[in-house]
Structure 1
Amino acid sequence: MKKYSSQKAAINFIKNNTVPILFFIICLGGVIASKLSIPYILNEIVNRLDRNLFLVLSLIIPVVAGMGLNFALVIGAMAGQIGLITIKVLNIGGITGLFLAALISIPFALLFGYGTGKILNRTKGKEMITSLILGFFAMGLYQLVFLLFVGTIIPIKNPEIVLPGGVGLKNAIDLTIIQYALDDLLSINVMGIKIPIFSLFIIGLLCLFTKFILKTKIGQDFRALGQDMHVAEVAGIDVDRTRLMAITISTLLAAWGQIIFLQNIGTLQTYSSHEQVGMFAVAAILVGGATVTRATIGNAILGTILFHTLFIVSPNAGKNLFGDPQIGEFFRSFVAYGVIALSLVLHAMQKNFDANANVESME
């Protein structure tokens, strides 16, 4: 009986963690095939955790609230980029400039989050596809503002960031004035691996904030909505207001996450830095074992490690296996979209299985 119980537990573990196990095996094969040194891989993983984890963590609250995966992170990222463009115009660098950018992004993120939440409240049950389309729509508006309005309606004359004709921002804006402002504030070197203590401390604070808010009254409301929206409404929860709060928090966190990401990169690709933010963050948390109805801090951390390990090793693995590093680039792009499709299919299959099981038990 004990042996049967342990076998059943092992089967359930594999069934519930199919995606993380699959990607662990792929990453392990990639590490071996790439022939990269372990210290180099570890250093890159720490760097990418510092760069990307804040964005991935910003997905958790909408999932808990039953709104699925927030592809509209791209809208929050745009708010963060508005803050960075502003400090570049004002020429305020260092940690002061970084925190000023975060402060400037707040009203934009709250406004964008409120607007996104209002629209998602009108498309209940279709939040993911709606947020994806909203992201594309927002990118069009963003390009309109920074290609046409800058230099005409918005008086920016700085030749360093404005196109030669005086209208529109350049494709790339140098952010060396704030590069590593957060990462170098407090960091240590352990066996050749640079660990940005202060950046990881900020990420730790977000983890604590997420755990704290989910234990409060509003957090319990989020969970109730995620379990059953109609039951939550009958229980007296203001469904629309609670959902609006969840998506607004996520949008604000995405704005700050994009600022952290770009201070590490040191360059703002004005019209493309935000494009894949939502897609890669969603792919990362799904790789960690999250679903459209369940996501945890552990899923976000594990997924970011696995997803970006694959990004680190795939070019060299492609070169060593096929003689062409571009094969690795194609593979990791395929993975980014493939993992989303795979996770959604597995979730749909599990949902149908549970529904059929419930029907059988009632009979």
Structure 2
Amino acid sequence: MKNFDRKKLNRLLTGSVVPLMFLIISLIAIPISKFTGVYLADQIVTRLVRNSFLVLSLLLPIMAGMGINFGMTLGAMAGQIGLIFINDWGIKGAPGLILAAIVSTPIAILLGYFGGKVLNRAKGREMITSMMLGLFISGIYQFFLLYLCGSVIPFKNPGLLLSRGYGVRNALNLITAKGFDSLLLIKIGGVNIPVGTFLIIGLICLFTVWFKNTKLGHDMRAVGQDMSVSGSAGIDVEKTRIQSIIISTVLACYGQIIYLQNIGTLNTYNGADQAALFAAASLLVGGATVAKATISNAIIGTALFHLMFLVMPVAGKYITGQAMIGEYFRMFVSYGVVTLALILHSWKRQKDKEMDRRLDREISSAPK
């Protein structure tokens, strides 16, 4: 029993290395950045509202054993297409956002199905394949917006198009800005809390908990643990994997709509490029791995990652005296955190194996 408790404690400590490390870095940088507590609280709430849904959309493929779905950018692109059409049709506020979600859902389902089929042919290499898949679909997405919109697909609002008469402009101001955030907005101690958007995020948390207890959820968990055993048990492994990617892609589509309504502007051609990177970084910072992730990992990781993302550039500027250094800090943090977290995950796996072997030896050599 003692060895079992020790084993659990060691796993807990190694699993907390990443979030503890980033928490310590943030706590050191906060006083250097000279931000007030109210400002930081307001910014963290804003970033939780903005990014949590996207991060939560990554959970199901991890449960199905497919790692981090960097192909979630396909869903983000679908969400952006829906928002562009709603902007053209002139539907404002929350109704416009809901209609954008309805319009983009079939696109996200189609892209998710295509992505799932591709990833089934790349078993064991899903993460790098999904990243390359995102780049491939990005080319088709840009061709669609640059050449088909305004020429083949008519637009009512010429202000959305380039001066040549077709092709969507590089940046758009969304008429649906703050559509969800303004539904139920309260202010506590100088911190704006968009309760309406938090309720939507709460719904996806409830959906995730409920889904894990459904038959499909149990099938995904079984496939994630062992595909061969799952196939022998009568589970359609490839179909289950495709379904996990479709659901993740559709949720990423909705997450991008929530993200952009909070921002208020749309970077038409590059807006979805960083969605997967920042979502993956947030999840890994929260203590998740490419094999296991929970809702708490997603929420804690989003808060920690964006806290560090917020304070590090300013802290870097005060330390060095140069504003550009702060931007270098920002880029280093955003790209380096994924690499570092994956390295630490690999180290943690190796340490877990060593602990298992050592404790097994201690148990076998203990006197009966």
- In the other structure, the counterpart of 1:122 is 121
- In the other structure, the counterpart of 2:336 is 338
Q: Distance in 1 between matches of 2:99 and 2:343?
A: 42
Q: Distance in 1 between matches of 2:11 and 2:156?
A: 61
Identity %: 51
Q: Which runs of 5+ in 1 are unaligned?
A: none
* 1:201 alignment partner AA: L
Q: Kindly state the Cα deviation for residue 227 of structure 1 after the two structures are TM-superposed.
A: 1.1
What TM-score do the two structures reach when normalised by structure 1?
0.94
Cα displacement string for residues 173-217 of structure 1 (whole angstroms, at most 9, x for unaligned residues):
110x21111001001110110111110000001000001000111
**Any conservation in 2 of the 1:187–1:194 contact (CA below 8 Å)?**
yes
Partner of 1:188: helix, strand, or coil?
strand
**Any conservation in 2 of the 1:14–1:21 contact (CA below 8 Å)?**
no
**Any conservation in 1 of the 2:15–2:348 contact (CA below 8 Å)?**
no
Q: Does 1:312 align with 2:310?
A: yes
Partner of 2:70: helix, strand, or coil?
coil
Q: Distance in 2 between matches of 1:74 and 1:259?
A: 12
Q: Distance in 1 between matches of 2:353 and 2:230?
A: 20
**Any conservation in 1 of the 2:19–2:287 contact (CA below 8 Å)?**
yes
Q: Kindly state the Cα deviation for residue 280 of structure 1 after the two structures are TM-superposed.
A: 0.4
Q: Distance in 1 between matches of 2:354 and 2:136?
A: 38
What TM-score do the two structures reach when normalised by structure 2?
0.93
* 2:307 alignment partner AA: T
Q: Distance in 1 between matches of 2:224 and 2:121?
A: 17
Partner of 1:195: helix, strand, or coil?
strand
- In the other structure, the counterpart of 2:228 is 230
**Any conservation in 1 of the 2:185–2:195 contact (CA below 8 Å)?**
yes
Partner of 1:14: helix, strand, or coil?
helix
Q: Does 1:259 align with 2:221?
A: no
Cα displacement string for residues 332-358 of structure 1 (whole angstroms, at most 9, x for unaligned residues):
221222222122223333444556777
**Any conservation in 1 of the 2:18–2:344 contact (CA below 8 Å)?**
no
- Stretch deviating more after TM superposition (344-353 or 309-318): 344-353
Partner of 1:160: helix, strand, or coil?
helix
Q: Which runs of 5+ in 2 are unaligned?
A: none
Q: Kindly state the Cα deviation for residue 289 of structure 1 after the two structures are TM-superposed.
A: 0.4
Q: Distance in 2 between matches of 1:356 and 1:306?
A: 29
**Any conservation in 2 of the 1:62–1:70 contact (CA below 8 Å)?**
yes
**Any conservation in 2 of the 1:317–1:325 contact (CA below 8 Å)?**
no
- In the other structure, the counterpart of 2:178 is 180
- In the other structure, the counterpart of 1:61 is 60
Q: 1:163 to 1:241 in 2, by over 3 A?
A: same
- In the other structure, the counterpart of 1:349 is 347
In the TM superposition, 1:1-363 aligns within 5 A as: 11-156=10-155, 158-175=157-174, 177-352=175-350
**Any conservation in 1 of the 2:313–2:328 contact (CA below 8 Å)?**
no
* 2:13 alignment partner AA: I
Q: 1:350 to 1:259 in 2, by over 3 A?
A: same
- Stretch deviating more after TM superposition (158-167 or 254-263): 158-167
Partner of 2:181: helix, strand, or coil?
coil
Q: Kindly state the Cα deviation for residue 159 of structure 1 after the two structures are TM-superposed.
A: 2.1
* 2:233 alignment partner AA: A
Partner of 2:158: helix, strand, or coil?
coil
Cα displacement string for residues 65-104 of structure 1 (whole angstroms, at most 9, x for unaligned residues):
1000000111100000011011011111111111100110
Q: Distance in 2 between matches of 1:7 and 1:347?
A: 20
Root-mean-square deviation (Å): 2.2
* 1:42 alignment partner AA: A
Cα displacement string for residues 10-68 of structure 1 (whole angstroms, at most 9, x for unaligned residues):
55433111110100001111111101000000000000000000000000000011000
What count of residue pairs does the alignment treat as equivalent? Answer: 361
Partner of 2:250: helix, strand, or coil?
helix
- Stretch deviating more after TM superposition (102-111 or 328-337): 328-337
